[in-house]
């Protein structure tokens, strides 16, 4: 029973987290959301992989979140930059609590997310047809994350948000690819790429405040 | 001892150690150059998989493979020439690192990238190379956005495209097993071809995914940017060649080589035309780098088995006629020297004049004559002007290409004309008289020496191609065996 419910819970969880990540501007919320998202990724990958290998995704994802969070916390300048300029909004004088957390133009983001949702809904069975090894639920999960990750990439120019978008899209791919390839080397390299993306994100956040080494 | 340990693990460890001691810039530059040269010499002198005697002592045998997590990294004896090229190329770039005031991370990161790209060539199954190329792109961010820099738009776009390209290649790799089972499934072939095409387009900065190149030329240190423009597309184009040589059904599809030819032509045409209308010296170099990617694609397109002469060696779906394949490899050296000289000269101009916009560099040739001449020579060499390094290779390429498509050849030549026009514009701007003009060279002696050394190589390679072309075209021989 639980093995049937868990994937559905995972789909709901990653739908909520990826949608919230799309509209939020707050770095704390974004990092909490991506950490939750990796729980859903773990549940979906565990359908095809042994639990201990699927746990690599969870650990790598949480570590990626921790790396990004620590980069922001460690530097007051980075924190100020992220909190004062929410993606192009220069008028930060009288912001309501709501606008602190939610991006300007959220209805538009939600509309775009809705379009992605419809596309994914129709594409998931097609993907299962193309790749017989993949069941509809993981296909749905993978495509949701791919779509929402790409959408996030298109809506932002901030390093942290771009890295979160890349991690989201990559997580979507990993769910799909886990059904096709269970090589330990690939699992390891994908974990390295996840951590590498987080490290690059952290580096780009703090690079402007670092002393030039030239 | 195994070959991957020597040419992948060892430089990787050295790169890590150099990163730790990055405070001593002079030392890391020298160690980086020496290690890269040592690895090139080892590749030259040590056969892989055969016993040999080292200085008359005990016989040594270098194994071909190394197993990591159950997967094999294999460097066969016939790949040694590629290893020489990789590590000599990297040593050459490192040679200009201190003169160009590159960041301290340049040498450690560059050596690490060379190790990773060697791993990409060695990994089995070869499609996993996509993962390693992505890791290389991640590492390269350290030199594209060095500490202290606040502009990351180009670097992030580069990273995004590379990260998006990798899954497409991996998924296509899985579909390939299906194609091998049922080669008559046209729907599947179409799907795989689309995935592979899009994946390589993202990886190689093929139009319209090239936008990070000109952005980087404005945002970052040009020497590091040129290094990335050289090494990443070079590695990916080699990966594409391996791809074409191994996937018979894929390279046998008539649309594949036609698509590569059209994409190559578009890169050369668009790069050349845009270069002609730029008013920023760095962006012109960026568009020239884009043209070089186009030339690499055009060199691959002439391997189209559909145009092979009677009796040609059609193996694994591509025309392995060595002179034709040799064109692809012969481009390496003129591209390497041209981009390195160009980037070094631009770095010097930017450091003296503050910017590379035409307004800022007017009359720059009077105070920086060597750098100014270097920019013009490098531009003309990449465009394929006679008497310069690019010319013999371009002639060979166009001779082969014109037999396949006159239209593609003419359109590519329009792109080349665009770059030549950009070169003449650059010359005119650099020589424009201002009130302050009067000849006085302000370059440092080390800069002058290195730039003049670059000119000499570019001119010698143009006048006496018989001394370097055979060695490069022989690299094509590695594809004579089933597993390059």
A29-81 pLDDT, tens per residue?
A: 999 999 999 999 999 999 888 888 899 999 999 999 999 999 999 888 888 87
Q: How far apart are CA A198 and CA A203, in angstroms?
A: 8
Q: Does B141 touch chain A (CB under 8 A)?
A: yes
Nearest alpha carbon to residue B294 among B405, B382, B378, B374 = B382
From A146, which residue of chain B is nearest by alpha-carbon distance?
B164
Shortest Cα distance from A1 to chain B (angstroms)? 32
CB contact under 8 A, A204 and B141: yes
- Provide the 10 A C-beta neighbour count for residue A9: 13
- Region A183-206: mean pLDDT is 91
- How much is the pLDDT for B255? 80
Q: CB B138 to CB A210 under 8 A?
A: no
B69 touches chain A (CB under 8 A): yes
Provide the 8-state DSSP code for B123. E
**DSSP of B382-431:** HHT-TTSTHHHHHHHHHHHHHTT-HHHHHHHHHHHHHHHHHHHHHHHHHH
Nearest beta carbon to residue B135 from set A130, A180, A196: A196
Establish if B198 touches chain A: CB-CB under 8 angstroms.
no
From chain A, pick out residues whose CB is under 8 angstroms from the CB of B158: none
- Window 73-112 of B: residues touching A by CB (8 A cutoff) are 101-105
Bond preceding residue B208 cis, omega within 30 of 0: yes
Give dist(CA B84, CA B120) in Å, integer: 16
pLDDT at site B483: 38
Instruction: Tell me which residue in A185, A193, A214 faces B101 most closely, judged by beta carbons.
Output: A214
Contact residues, B window 162-181, toward A, CB-based 8 Å cutoff? 163-164, 166-167, 170-171, 174
Residues 6+ apart with CB under 8 A from A98: none
* Interface contact A189, partner B, CB < 8 A: yes
**Residue A90 has what pLDDT?**
47
Q: What pLDDT does B55 receive?
A: 67
Please say if the pLDDT value at position A100 is more than 80: no
How many Å apart are CA B156 and CA B151, to the nearest integer?
Answer: 10
Identify the residue among B152, B162, B194, B223 best suited for mutation to test binding to A, counting A beta carbons within 10 A and taking the highest: B152
Tell me what the mean pLDDT of segment A176-196 comes to: 89
How far is it, in rounded angstroms, from Cα A97 to Cα A82?
Answer: 15
Spatial separation of the C-alpha atoms in residues B10 and A92, rounded to whole Å: 52
Closest Cβ–Cβ partner in B69, B141, B145 for A185? B69
**How would you classify residue B46: left for phi > 0, otherwise alpha for psi between -120 and 50, otherwise beta?**
beta
- E strands, B317-362, are 318-319
Contacts of A212 in chain B (CB under 8 A): 103, 146-149
Chain A residues within an 8 Å CB radius of B141? 200, 203-204
Q: What's chain A's length in residues?
A: 214
Nearest one of B260, B244, B263 to B252, comparing CA atoms: B244
CB contact under 8 A, B163 and A166: yes
First to last CA, chain A: 61
Taking residue B26's Cβ as centre, other Cβ atoms within 10 Å add up to: 8
Q: What is the pLDDT of residue B398?
A: 93
Token duo for residue A145 = 């994350």
- Comparing CB atoms, the residue among B104, B105, B141 nearest residue A200 is B141
DSSP 3-state assignment of B357? strand
Question: Helix, strand or coil for residue B454?
Answer: helix
Residue numbers in chain B where pLDDT is lower than 70: 54-57, 306-323, 435-437, 477-484
Size of interface A-B (CB pairs under 8 A): 105
For residues B5 and B73, the answer to whether their CB atoms sit within 8 Å is: no
Q: How far is CA B360 from CA B171, B428, B430, B442, in A?
A: 48, 13, 10, 16
> Which of B427, B422, B437 shows the shortest CA–CA distance to B374?
B427
Spell out which residues of chain A touch residue B68, defining contact as CB-CB under 8 Å: 185
Residue A210: is its pLDDT beyond 50? yes
- Chain A hits for B221, CB-CB cut-off 8 Å, are 214
- Which stretch of DSSP H or E encloses residue B213? helix B212-219
Closest approach of chain A CAs to the CA of B481, in angstroms? 27
- The CB density around residue B251, as the number of other CB atoms within 10 Å, is 22
Task: Give SS3 for B7.
Answer: helix
**CB-based contact (8 Å) between A208 and chain B?**
yes
Identify the pLDDT of residue A212.
Answer: 59
- Is B68 at the interface with chain A, CB within 8 A? yes
CA separation for the pair B231, B233 (Å, rounded): 6
Distance from the A119 Cα atom to the nearest Cα atom in chain B, whole angstroms: 18
- Going by C-alpha positions, the residue among B174, B402, B143 that lies closest to residue B298 is B402
Question: Residue A210: which of B147, B166, B174 has the nearest Cβ?
Answer: B147
Give the minimum alpha-carbon distance from A117 to chain B in angstroms, rounded to a whole number: 20
Rounded to 5 degrees, φ, ψ at B63 are -70, 155
Q: Is B160 in CB contact (< 8 Å) with chain A?
A: yes
Q: Do B167 and A170 touch (CB under 8 A)?
A: yes
Taking contacts as CB-CB distances below 8 angstroms, the residues of chain A near B148 are 207-208, 210-214
How far does CA B386 lie from the centroid of its chain?
A: 22
Cβ-Cβ contacts under 8 Å, B142 against chain A: 203
């Amino acid at each position: 029973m639980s093995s049937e419910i868990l994937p559905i819970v995972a789909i709901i969880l990653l739908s909520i987290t990826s949608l919230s990540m799309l509209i939020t501007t707050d770095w704390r919320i974004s990092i909490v959301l991506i950490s939750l998202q990796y729980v859903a990724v773990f549940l979906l990958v565990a359908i095809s992989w042994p639990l201990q290998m699927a746990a690599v995704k969870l650990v790598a994802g949480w570590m990626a979140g921790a790396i990004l969070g620590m980069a922001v916390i460690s530097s007051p300048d980075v924190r100020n930059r992220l909190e004062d300029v929410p993606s192009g909004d220069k008028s930060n004088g009288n912001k309501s609590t709501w606008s602190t957390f939610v991006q300007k133009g959220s209805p538009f983001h939600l509309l775009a997310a809705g379009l992605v949702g419809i596309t994914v809904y129709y594409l998931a069975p097609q993907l299962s047809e193309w790749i017989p090894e993949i069941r509809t639920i993981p296909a749905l999960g993978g495509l949701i994350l791919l779509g929402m990750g790409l959408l996030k990439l298109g809506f932002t120019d901030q390093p942290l948000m771009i890295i979160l978008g890349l991690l989201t899209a990559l997580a979507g791919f990993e769910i799909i690819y886990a059904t096709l390839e269970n090589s330990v080397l690939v699992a390891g390299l994908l974990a390295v790429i996840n951590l590498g993306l987080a490290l690059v994100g952290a580096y780009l956040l703090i690079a402007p405040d670092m002393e030039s080494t030239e | 001892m195994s070959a991957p340990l020597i040419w992948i693990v060892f430089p990787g460890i050295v790169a890590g150690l150099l990163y730790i001691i990055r405070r001593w810039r002079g030392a890391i530059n020298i160690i980086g150059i020496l290690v890269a040269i040592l690895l090139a010499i080892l590749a030259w002198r040590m056969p892989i998989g055969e016993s040999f005697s080292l200085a008359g002592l005990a016989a040594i045998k270098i194994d071909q493979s190394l197993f990591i997590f159950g997967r094999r990294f294999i460097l066969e004896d016939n790949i040694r020439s590629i290893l020489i090229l990789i590590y000599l190329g990297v040593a050459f770039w490192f040679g200009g690192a201190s003169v160009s005031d590159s960041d301290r991370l340049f040498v450690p990161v560059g050596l690490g990238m060379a190790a990773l790209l060697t791993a990409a060539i060695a990994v089995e199954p070869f499609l996993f190379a996509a993962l390693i190329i992505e890791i290389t792109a991640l590492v390269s961010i350290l030199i594209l956005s060095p500490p202290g820099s606040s502009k990351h738009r180009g670097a992030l776009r580069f990273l995004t495209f590379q990260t998006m390209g990798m899954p497409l290649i991996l998924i296509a790799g899985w579909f390939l097993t299906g194609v091998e089972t049922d080669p008559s499934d046209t729907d599947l072939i179409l799907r795989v071809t689309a995935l592979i095409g899009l994946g390589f387009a993202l990886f190689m900065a093929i139009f319209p995914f090239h936008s990070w190149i000109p952005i980087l030329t404005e945002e970052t240190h040009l020497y590091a940017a040129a290094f990335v423009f050289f090494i990443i597309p070079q590695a990916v184009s080699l990966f594409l060649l391996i791809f074409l040589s191994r996937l018979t059904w894929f390279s046998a599809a008539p649309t594949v080589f036609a698509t590569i030819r059209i994409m190559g032509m578009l890169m050369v045409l668009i790069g050349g035309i845009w270069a002609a209308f730029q008013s920023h010296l760095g962006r012109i170099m960026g568009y020239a780098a884009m043209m070089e990617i186009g030339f690499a694609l055009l060199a691959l397109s002439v391997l189209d088995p559909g145009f092979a002469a009677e009796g040609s060696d059609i193996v694994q779906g591509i025309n392995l006629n060595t002179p034709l394949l040799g064109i692809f490899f012969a481009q390496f050296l003129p591209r390497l020297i041209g981009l390195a000289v160009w980037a070094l000269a631009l770095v010097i101009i930017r450091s003296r004049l503050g910017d590379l916009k035409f307004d800022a560099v007017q009359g720059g040739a009077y105070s920086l004559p060597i750098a100014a001449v270097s920019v013009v020579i490098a531009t003309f060499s990449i465009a394929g002007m006679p008497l310069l390094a690019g010319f013999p290779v371009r002639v060979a390429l166009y001779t082969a290409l014109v037999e396949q498509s006159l239209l593609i050849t003419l359109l590519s030549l329009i792109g080349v004309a665009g770059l030549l026009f950009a070169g003449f514009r650059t010359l005119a701007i650099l020589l424009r008289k201002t009130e302050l003009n009067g000849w006085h060279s302000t370059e440092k002696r080390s800069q002058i020496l290195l730039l003049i050394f670059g000119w000499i190589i570019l001119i010698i390679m143009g006048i006496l191609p018989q001394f370097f072309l055979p060695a490069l075209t022989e690299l094509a021989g590695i594809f004579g065996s089933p597993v390059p």
